[in-house]
Each structure stands twice: as structure tokens, then as C-alpha cells.
Amino acid sequence: MRGFSRRSFLHLGAVAVAAGAVPAGRTGDPFPASAARTGHPFPATAGRAGDPFPALRRRWREVTAEPEGAVAAGPYRRRVAVLAATAAGYRDTMRPDDGSLWPGLAFPSFDETPARLRAMARAYAVTGTGLTGDPALAAAVATGIDHYRRQVYTAGAEPAGNWWNWQIGVPLRLLDAAVLIGPHLGEPRSRALAEAVDHFLPACVLEDYSGTSTGANRVDQCTVMLLRAMLAADGDRAALAVSALAPVFPYVREGDGIYPDGSFIQHATIPYQGGYGLVLLSGLATLFAVLRGTLWQLTDQNVFDAVERSFAPFVHDGFCMDLVSGRGIGRRPYGDHRKGHEIAAAILLLGESASAAERIRWQGMVKGWVRRAAHRPALDPAAHARLAALMADDTIPALAEPAGHRLLPMSARAVHRRPGWCAGLSMASARIGHYEHGNGENLRGWHTGSGMLYWWADGHAEQYSDSFWQTVDPYRLPGTTVSTRRLPDGAGGAWGDTCPPGRWVGGATDGTYATVGQHLNGLESTMEAVKSWVFLDDAVVCMGAGITSDDGVPVETVVDNRRTDAPLTVDRVAGWAHLEGHGGYVLPCAPLRTLRERRSGGAATRGYVTLWLDHGVDPRAAGYLYLLMPGASAAGTRARAADLGWLRVLANTSAQQGVSVPSLGVTAVNFWTEGSAGALSASAPCAVLVRERDDGTATLTVADPREALDELTVTWERPVAGVLGGHPLLSAATTGAALTLVWGPLAGAGGGSATVTVRLGQGRSRTSTAPIEPGPWRSRTRRIR
């Protein structure tokens, strides 16, 4: 926006120009003890006994710029040296005029100019920069803040463009810089900045928790309000900043926020732990730390619980999985690693306000992430300091990656961890969008919700990091079933308004294994299918059925699309393929197509190996079945393909999809309609997972992904001696020659799983050998309370 004049940018009724700065404090001490007498912007109140704001400002500096013990950490010192050189460069090249503060920098520069001023302020406030307490640097920051305030961010201006810049982005950085330089901004300039903030973020915005003032945005707005309170020593605004956080903490069942199953949603339909969720976690961690021990101390357990329920499931070996990063997935290469490390640093900061048990557990978890990380992104000095101090503490052991399955049905996401590999599944539903685009970002993320299956084996933490989104074929994302109909950039509504009608999206898990399904409706397409995944020890069973389309183009299921130049071996007779160093694929009855190509995007060119199944033009009830074996050797893949008894397919139709794996004692069925598959039958659409154990017990887990059932009857044709452990929603059970379970209103479980443990046995039903009739039968069976 070069040449964008102040007159054309501001629409003012009147503009008050404030000037004047307070003499600088002592070099080397950015917050001198005499500041209240000689330099505080509001000296009439700042020095009174009992005034909490001097300590609050000092605590802000300690938390956000210079954590305790940071100076001793070598990596922190290196980051401080970078900060010092950067800030000095900004200071030396700053040339205030009627436009940009820096020659050649775009104007009004909502991001860059405030960020530069904050960097300069941090160099002033942080020990060891060589600029600590430098009055000339502080004066330059003060001049820059007021220049930007007069040119752009001034009371009375019309907030043109994105609201976020005016209520969050600009004031957060300007106020941060103003607080860090302490008295150097001066009273007139401080008052003018406070008035500008009041104009763009009036207190009334925080009175209503809706629209753009929810979730992470509300946390940011409250942080701006608290900084505004610090600047002006305003107790009322500090109290408002804290009270307005109240709606952020409770669990929600719709809209933005944290859900009981651990999901975090922003923009109503987008899972966002790696974007807005990170902002929320980091912001709350900062506020908890800054306000601890003050009049406005925060207390809420949900945010602490969210660390392990909402965020940790999506961090693997130091990076945050892209399936919860919304439109931000392609902003920069290795952005997933940066987000993962920022989440880690935020967890450490929040741990300072958590219980001792939580803090110790989180430290071990984070240390494991960082130690296993394949990439170390540059972070701000405070975050770097916390991570460096943790890694240098030999008394804290690094925890291993936990094995298990986490299914978050409210956000249509699943994560499966086994020794040596990890997988993540991204789906779309009636409540979760196919993808999000906005502000010109992620315009080709169309199919990321069409059953995209991410996976990482040992040594492949960078698979989706190194320019993957810039170079991958957006029509061939791994795991997806898609119409090849060409789509325009930004197809579908912006900001996540891309929800398909399918409601059966989710599944059942016992915490180790899982059966997950998606009723898929293509984006701007007539294509429809049902897809199922069964997550096991060394494989994911992938099934599709009912694949139908009238788009007039081929429909494909992408078995995989790996960013690699590794050799691919395909045995079409035996029905298997192996990608060297990555893993194997078993395809018992489908002709596999393959492609090796080099693709370019931006400044990057990367090699890809693509494996897919072609269902033809306008298929009718097409299907597929294959095994994905992450990390498997060629010999292991070949052996699995030859073992015809390892997997038994019970059904693969648009009515039911199910398999059994006798060696694991696992039976998994997704019932798209009522019916039977193998030994299992269900009275309504649901997901059922059975796991038989060597000790003579079994668990039967059910879920209602549609959230529609007031009652469900599930029968397992297997002798059962008794029920050992029930569930609050289990209303009746019949044991004997078969097990019949009657469940109450699963619709209220949020798509979550309900598990019953039984003792296996022999014998006939204790209640009746006649066909079960729902009414009379219920009166003759044992009730579970």
C-alpha cells in the first residue's frame, strides 16, 4: 500500500495530536524505583500505597519477555543477541514521516510496524541485549508508538478492513511495547493511546459473548483490555478484562470453545488447536501467570484439563498436526513444528499456575516432544528460554510417546498412536467444515476433510512440513475419496462455511483400538460414499462403499501421496506395495495405480509417490479395501498379504462395514443402517467395537455418531457368562448363549464411546430363547443401574 496517505486512510471528525515525553530513567534499569515519581504516565495514582499496577507491569515483563533464570540459558542468550541486533537495526533505520516509520515499508502496515516497535521495546526491557534500559531506544519506541497512533491508530478513525487489526493485532503490540518502556511514553501520549484503544475496543464489546468476540479472540481482547488497564492504572478495566474471560472457560456443545471430548472449535466449524487454540492456550497461560497473586487472580480447571485432553493428542515429536490448524496449514514450511513448540512453551508457562502433579507431568511430556523433535524453530526469547531451561534440567525425565487412540467426535478428528508410528484422521460432517479459507489463505484445501489420513513412522516427522502444502496435488490428498471435478480457488463458503449434510461421522474406541467412519459428501460435488477405518497395532484397515457420483468425471480413492523420492515396489499379483523407508500397503482386490512426479509450488520443488484407486466415471456403489502399514518392511508387507486369515471382512456395503482380526480378538463394525454383520447386530445406525482378551473377558464399546438415538439394542452372538462392568447409559443386559445390550439415550453423549466389560462363557440365554421383542423382553431382563 505504498503511497497510501494518512488523509485518505483516516476518516475523522476531529484528531487530537498529543506530544511530549517524560525524561528517561536510568540506563540498565527499564523500571527504576523512582518511576512512579518522575515518569509514570499517571503519577497521581501510580505511587500510592497498595497500587497493584507497578508490580503488575513488572510481572508482565518477567512473564512475556524475560522468564526467571532465562539469562543462564545458552539458547536464550543466542535469541537475545538476535533480538538486540534486530532492534538496533530497526532503531537505526526508523525515519518518521507522513506515512511509514521505515522507508520502503508498506503503509499502514498493520502487522510489521507494531511488531517492530514491540521488538525494540523488548530489547529495551530484557537483560543482556546491550540496549537494556537505553533511554535513546525507549525514546525511539515512544516516538514510533505515537507516530503510528497519530497516522493510523487514532481515536475517531474508521476501522477499515479486517476488524482483527483494530481490536487485537495493532493494540496488543502497541500496548505491549508501551508497558515495556515504562515511563518513557509520557502521560499525554499514553492517554492518547488509551483513548484510541477505547475507541476501537470499547468496553461494550466484552459485554456480549458472540460474533467475533468468542474463544481465542475473546482471550486476546481481554489481554488488550488488561494492557490498557496497566497503561492507565485503571482498576475497573483490569476487573473487566478478567470478568469478560468467564464465558471462555465452560465446556460448550456448539459454536466456539472447548468441548467435553477435548475438541476445540473456532469460527463455529473448524478444529483449531494449532491456530486459535494455541492463541487461547498461550494467552490464558500468560494471564494466569501475570495475575497470579493479584486482586484479579484467575482460577479455572478446564483450561488445565485441556492441556492433555485438547492439545497433547495433536502434538507428535514436537510438531502440531495440521488437521487442527485450519487455514494456516500452508503459511510457511515447517509451520507445524513452530506451532508444536509454541504449544509446548505455553504448556510450560501454564504449568507455573497448575498443581505440582500437573506441572511435573507436563514437563516430562514437553521434554519428550522437544527431545524427539526433528526441527527446532526459532521462537521468541521467552518461549525459547522456558524450553531451554527444561531441557537443561536433568532431574526431569523425558516421557515417551503414549500409545492409544483418541477420538474427538465433536470435531471429526481421530489420532492413533502405536510404538513406532502415529496417524491422524481429518473428516467433515454436518457440524465440521470440509476446510477453511479466508484472507486469501488455503484456497485449495478443498479435500482436507474428505477422510485425509496423515501418518508418521519413525524418521518421518517432516513428511507434511517441508513445503508439502505448497507442492502437493490438492486433488490427491492421502486417504481421501474425491470427485476429480475441477474446483475454483476458495470453493465453498469462506471461514469454514463448507459443512456437508452427513451426520454419521465419528466412531467407537476403547482407548487402544478404534472403528471410525464418515458418511462423505463431496465438496461442490454429487459424489457420496461411506468410509471406514479400523485402527490396530501395526495397520489401519481402510474401507469404502457406496461410492456414487454424477459429476461426469472419474472418482478416486487416494491410498497415499508421500512426499518422497524413495523406491516403490508393487506386486500386483500378490496384492501389495511397499515404499522403501516409509511403509507398506496390502490391496487384496483392487487394481492399484501409481505415479511418481516432481511438483513445484512457490520456490519449492518436491518429489511425490502417489498410489490411488480409480473408481471410474460416475461410479455406482463402488468400493475398496486396503491395509496401510506404517513403518512396515517389504518382507512384513508381503507376509501380511499372504496371510489370508489375518483379516476377515464381515461387510463392506453402504449398510454396514466391518472386519474381525482373530489374532487381536477385535471385531469392528460401523452400522450405517440397522442390521447385522458377522456376529454383531444393531437396531439402529451406530459404531460397535468388540475386543476379546486372553483372560476370558471382553469389552463391547458402542457410539452414536449421529447423536440421534434415544435407545439402541446391540446383540453379540457369543456366549457370555455375565456383565462385569456397566455404563450409566446401559439400561438392560441379557447374557447366556448371546449378549444383548440395551442402551439408553446415547444422543446425549456427544458422539462419545460407551463401554461394557463382560465375562465370556458358554450356555444359553438366561431370559429367553425366543426372538427378542423390544417391549416384553425388556421386562424380563436384568436392569443395569
- Which amino acids are annotated catalytic? 217, 267, 276
Q: CA–CA separation, 556 vs 484, rounded Å? A: 7
Q: Is the dihedral of CA 304, 310, 311, 316 positive or negative?
A: positive
Cell of 307: 492441556
Q: Hunting for cell 524505583 — which residue is that?
A: 33
Cα distances from 46 to residues 192, 196, 698, in angstroms, run 18, 21, 67
Task: Report the distance separating Cα 211 and Cα 208, nearest Å.
Answer: 9
Contact 531, 461 (CB under 8 A): no
Cross-strand partners of 530:
519, 545
Show the cell assigned to 619: 461410479
**Which residue type does 171 have?**
P
Q: Which residues pair with 760 in a beta bridge?
A: 720
Torsion sign (Cα): 355, 356, 359, 360 = negative
Q: Which three cell numbers stand for residue 172?
A: 496488543
Q: What share of the chain is helix, strand, coil (3-state, %, to 5)?
A: 35, 25, 40
Choose among 282, 278, 281: nearest CA to 305: 281
Separation of alpha carbons 377 and 579, rounded Å = 29
d(CA 585, CA 483): 23
Residue 730 bridge partners (DSSP): 743
- Which residue, among 69, 57, 61, 58, has the nearest Cα to 348 in the 3D structure? 69
Rounded Cα–Cα distance for residues 40 and 359 (Å) = 37
**Using CB atoms within 10 A of its CB, is residue 393 exposed (0-12), middle (13-18) or buried (19+)?**
exposed
Angle between helices 335-351 and 356-372 (to 10 degrees): 160
End-to-end CA distance of the chain: 68
Q: Give the relative orientation of helices 276-291 and 215-232 as an angle to the nearest 10 degrees.
A: 30
Nearest residue to 390 via CA among 373, 407, 414, 374: 373
Listing DSSP states for 209-241 in one string gives --TTSSHHHHHHHHHHHHHHHHHHT-HHHHHHH
Instruction: Kindly report whether the peptide bond that precedes residue 108 is cis, defined as omega within 30 degrees of 0.
Output: yes
Compute φ and ψ for 568, nearest 5 degrees.
-115, 130
42-55 residues labelled b (16+ CB within 10 A) or e (exposed): bbeebbeeeebbbe
